[in-house]
Amino acid sequence: MSDISFHIGWLELALIFGWPGLILGAGAGALIWRKRRFAGALLGAVLGGLAWFAIAFALKLS
């Protein structure tokens, strides 16, 4: 018998279910905030990932 266990936290779940939001948010943030593309992409990726994860989580609960 194998003793393998997986411990998945909220960060891993957000990365698994929120990756499309990371990509879309990074692209949108870089386009919207043209003077600071890196900061816009980073902020957009975080917000997009959180939004996508929240929607995916809410749809799984219903």
pLDDT digits (tens, 9 = 90+) for 15-55: 777 788 889 999 999 999 999 999 999 999 999 988 888 88
Binned at pLDDT 50, 70 and 90, residue 2 comes out as low
Does 40 reside within a domain?
yes
Does 37 reside within a domain?
yes
Does 6 reside within a domain?
no
Does 50 reside within a domain?
yes
Q: How many domains does the chain have?
A: 1
Does 2 reside within a domain?
no
Domain extent, residue 54, equals 17-61
Does 3 reside within a domain?
no
Binned at pLDDT 50, 70 and 90, residue 58 comes out as confident
Instruction: Give me the residue label for tokens 């939001």.
Output: 21
Helix (H, G, I), strand (E, B) or coil at 57: helix
Does 49 reside within a domain?
yes
Is the entire prediction scored with pTM above 0.85? no
Residue type, 19: W
Does 43 reside within a domain?
yes
Instruction: Give me the residue label for tokens 């698994």.
Output: 16
Residue-level pLDDT at 47 = 92
Residue 62 pLDDT > 70, yes or no?
Answer: no
Instruction: Give me the residue label for tokens 């929120």.
Output: 18
Helix (H, G, I), strand (E, B) or coil at 30: helix
Can you list the positions of beta strands (E) in 1-62? none
